[in-house]
Chains A and B, each alone.
Chain A
Amino acid sequence: MFTPVPREKFDKLQLAALAGLMCLGAAFVFSATMVSPVEIDKAWFAQTWFRQVVWYGLGTGVAAALCVLDYHTLARWSFVAYWAAILCLVAVLIPHIGSMRFGARRWIDLGFFQFQPSEFAKLAFILAGANFLSRPVDELKQMGVFWQGIGLMMLPFVLILKEPDLGSALVLLPTGLVMMFAAGTPKKYLLRLVGGVGLLAVLFLSSILFAPEGWRVPIEPYQRNRLLIYFGRDYTHFAPLNATPAELQRLQQRQLDDAYNVRQALISVGSGGLMGKGWRQGTQNALGYLPRAVAHNDFIFSVIAEEEGFVGSVLILALYAVVLFTGLRIAGSARDRLGKLVAVGVVTLLFSHVFINIGMNIRIMPVTGVPLPLLSYGGSSVLGSLIAVGLMQNIYIHRRGY
Chain B
Amino acid sequence: MLVFDELKKNDLQLRLVAVMLVGGLLVLFIGLWWVQVVSARDYQSHLETQQFRTIRLPAVRGKILDREGRVLAENHPRYNLSLYLDDMRGPFDMAFGESLKAARALQKQRIAAAEKKLDRSLTKAERKAFAFKPEELQQMRAAARIRVASEIVAQVGQKMGEPITLDAKKFERAYQTRLALPYPILPNLNASNIARFQESYTNGLGADLELQSVRRYPLGTTASHLLGYLQRDDESQAGEDPDFNYRLPDYRGLVGVEAGFDAELRGHAGGESVQVNNLGYRQSENIWSQPAPGQNLVLTIDLDLQTAAEAAMVRHQGAEARAAVVVLDVRSGDVLAMASSPTVNPNDFIEGFTPAAMARKDDERLRPQINRATHENYAPGSIFKPVIALAALESGLNPSRIFTVQADPMKPGHSCIYVGKRKIEDTVLPGEYDLRRAIMRSSNSYFITNGLLTGIDKIIALAEKFHFGDLAGLPTRQETKGDLPSLKRIHSGWREGDTANVCIGQGEVSVTPLQMAVAYAALANGGKVLKPRLVARVGPQDASLGQTATNFPAGVIRDQLGVSLRSLGILYNAMLAETEDPEGTGHPAVVPGLRICGKTGTAQVQDAANRLTGYNYWFASFAPFENPRFAVVVMVQMDLPASGSGGKTCAPIAHDIYEAILKKQIAATRTLATLK
A interface residues (Cβ-Cβ under 8 A, vs B):
13, 178, 181-182, 184, 266-267, 269-274, 283-284, 287-289, 305, 309-310, 313-314, 317, 320-322, 324-326, 328-329, 331-332, 340, 344, 347-348, 351, 354-355, 358-359, 362, 364
Contact = CB atoms under 8 A, between A and B. Distances in A.
Contacts of B11: 332
* Main DSSP-derived SS at the A contact region: helix
B566 interface: no
Contacts of A328: 6, 14, 17-18, 21
Contacts of A332: 6, 9, 11, 14
A309 B44 CA distance: 12
Nearest to B33: A310
B349 interface: no
A321 B46 contact: no
Nearest to B29: A317
Contacts of A354: 28
Contact of B278 (A287, A305, A313): A287
Given A182-B17, A273-B40, A313-B36, 20 more contacts: A178-B20, A182-B14, A266-B43, A267-B50, A270-B35, A270-B46, A287-B277, A309-B36, A310-B32, A317-B32, A321-B25, A324-B21, A325-B2, A325-B3, A325-B21, A326-B2, A328-B6, A359-B31, A362-B28, A362-B34
Nearest to A287: B277
20 contacts: A178-B17, A178-B20, A266-B43, A267-B47, A269-B35, A269-B36, A269-B43, A270-B39, A272-B36, A305-B32, A310-B37, A321-B25, A322-B2, A325-B18, A328-B6, A329-B5, A332-B6, A347-B17, A351-B24, A359-B27
Contact of B21 (A283, A284, A351): A351
A43 B655 CA distance: 88
B320 interface: no
A332 B16 CA distance: 12
Given A287-B275, A325-B3, A329-B2, A362 B37 contact: no
Nearest to B39: A270
Contacts of A359: 27-28, 31
A269 B46 contact: no
Interface of B: 2-3, 5-6, 9, 11, 13-14, 16-18, 20-21, 24-25, 27-29, 31-37, 39-40, 42-44, 46-47, 50-51, 275-279, 283
Contacts of A310: 32-33, 36-37
Nearest to A257: B134
A358 B275 CA distance: 28
A337 to B, nearest CB: 11
B178 to A, nearest CB: 19
Which of B21, B33, B36: most chain A CB closer than 10 A?
A: B36
A305 B37 CA distance: 12
A272 B40 contact: yes
Nearest to A184: B13
A215 B37 CA distance: 43
Given A270-B36, A310-B37, A314-B29, A289 B21 contact: no
A181 B20 CA distance: 13
B36 A321 contact: no
Given A289-B51, A328-B6, A317 B17 contact: no
A288 B279 contact: yes
Nearest to B31: A362
